[in-house]
Amino acid sequence: MCAHLDAASARGFTGLILAGGASTRMGQDKAFVQIGGIALVERVANRLEDARAAEVIVIGGDLDGLRTAGLDARADRYPSQGPLGGLITGLAELKDPESFAFVCACDQPEVDPQLPALLLGRCSDRSDAAIPMARGVPQVLAAVYRARALGALQQSYDAGERSLRRAVQELDGVVVEGLPERWFVDLDTPEELARYAAYDE
């Protein structure tokens, strides 16, 4: 067993997959786009299960379709308001304010099962979040958040903020660098999907 997976399992975390985006550039619901016969959202869920998530919850999107696929799908409290609202919704599902969630989007097929544990391992008792940096950009949708961050994020949202990247700047977080850029691939367009599918074969 990988030591990183042991660490994640020992500390415990919930996997949250955000699926409420409009998928405008893709032209169809990204969650159900298939690669190798597997829907993107199912592929991501499988990877979080491989990471030993205590549970995997999908926030937003086509709830009936997600549930038919066997996923635990829950309504976004703030539909069509971007990932900040989805993250707030997901963190509100956690009962213990000291518990952690690993949060990603449904269109990130290369999320590595080692990633949650690597991020959890960088969290101190004071940390509200651990956020990877890739290509010089904080990957706020492939990050670990502590449930107690909900208060600060909700306050930002209520003040009119809709950018997750700006909202997390208010958290006591740690930045994690040096991780493989491929782990943070996301698929927004048919062209990106085609290139990825060809590479994945």
Residues 138-185 pLDDT 10s: 999 999 999 999 999 999 999 999 999 999 999 999 999 999 999 999
* Burial class, 9, CB count within 10 angstroms (exposed 0-12 / middle 13-18 / buried 19+): middle
pLDDT, residue 195, reads 84
pLDDT, residue 191, reads 87
pLDDT at 7 exceeding the cut of 60: no
- Number of Cβ within 10 Å of residue 29's Cβ equals 18
Return the domain boundaries, the chain: 3-200
Residues 64-78 pLDDT 10s: 999 999 999 999 999
pTM beyond 0.85: the answer is: yes
Residue range 38-65: mean pLDDT, rounded: 96
pLDDT at 93 exceeding the cut of 50: yes
Residue range 4-28: mean pLDDT, rounded: 71
pLDDT, residue 10, reads 45
CATH architecture of 3-200: Alpha-Beta Complex (3.90)
Beta partners for 173? 129
pLDDT at 113 exceeding the cut of 70: yes
CA distances from 35 to 11, 42, 44, 62 (A): 32, 10, 12, 19
